[in-house]
Amino acid sequence: MLVRDVMTVNVIAIGPEMPIRDVAALMEMRRVRHFPILEDDEQGEARLVGIVSDRDLRAVDSPHPSARPDVHVSDPVRSIMVTPVATAHPDDAAEDVAAWLREYRVGALPVLDGEQLVGIVSPPDLLAALALPAAIREPSSVLEVEVGNRPGCLAALLQTLAQHGLNVSQLTTTRAEPEIGCFIVRVNTIDAPRVAGNLTREGWTVLWPEPDAAPPASPQRGPEVEEVA
């Protein structure tokens, strides 16, 4: 998944000369937490020169220990903007950007295609995208199966499910060890214990759900033993 698929494209940028109090008012009105700051270069092309966050704005004229005594709300935002700016490219992997946000300890990355600002990417964008593999696409049951970490093992599981006439609408991995991986598979049946039972009898290790008992000798006669009162 790429940054271009998850980023917010309607990005609001400001100029470096805007007074801090106006920036704060605009941020409140637009309900965002970051403004990239653009300034024209000698050729008249807009260039990213800084970024300001709601947190930077709040420190101004506050008793906060990091507040600078020489900066006031009437000053231009240039005096507090963070520069240089950590950025992402539209073709960066979304998973990488999630790691960078933690590494740089920032709340958003402007996305630059060459010198042009094309978007901004922040945790909500990434969370929505990274949660997608868990989205329910069709009525289905979940199976959790151990699969060997060797060529053909996962293919064999999928082949087995296909032979049982089941459609796989979701496949995610939860645990990857050198020898064994653990896969969550969503299949289009309400009767997951029966599938788990069939897989178990074919030699698979099924972690969820608990497999059904051995198949009844006659479909008409399920194993029914009444408890003693």
The residues that touch another protein, with contacts defined as CB under 8 A, are 136, 139-142, 164-167, 186, 188-194, 208-210, 212-213, 218-222, 224-229
Max CA separation in the chain (angstroms): 91
Q: Is 52 or 187 the residue whose CB approaches another protein more closely?
A: 187
- The least distance separating another protein from the CB of residue 162, rounded to whole angstroms, comes to 12
Residue (66 or 220) nearer to another protein, CB: 220
- How close are the terminal C-alpha atoms of the chain, in Å? 58
For CA atoms 104, 106, 112, 116, the dihedral sign is negative
Nearer to another protein, 8 or 188 (CB): 188
Name the residue nearer to another protein (CB basis): 53 or 141. 141
Q: How far is the CB of 138 from another protein (least distance, A)?
A: 8
Q: Which is nearer to another protein, 150 or 175 (CB)?
A: 175
Nearer to another protein, 2 or 158 (CB): 158
| Shortest distance, position 163 Cβ to another protein, whole Å | 11
Residue 129 CB, nearest approach to another protein (Å): 17
- Which are the contacts of 145, defined by CB distance < 8 A and separation ≥ 6? 157, 182, 183, 185, 199, 204, 205, 206, 207
Q: How far is the CB of 190 from another protein (least distance, A)?
A: 4
Q: How far is the CB of 1 from another protein (least distance, A)?
A: 22
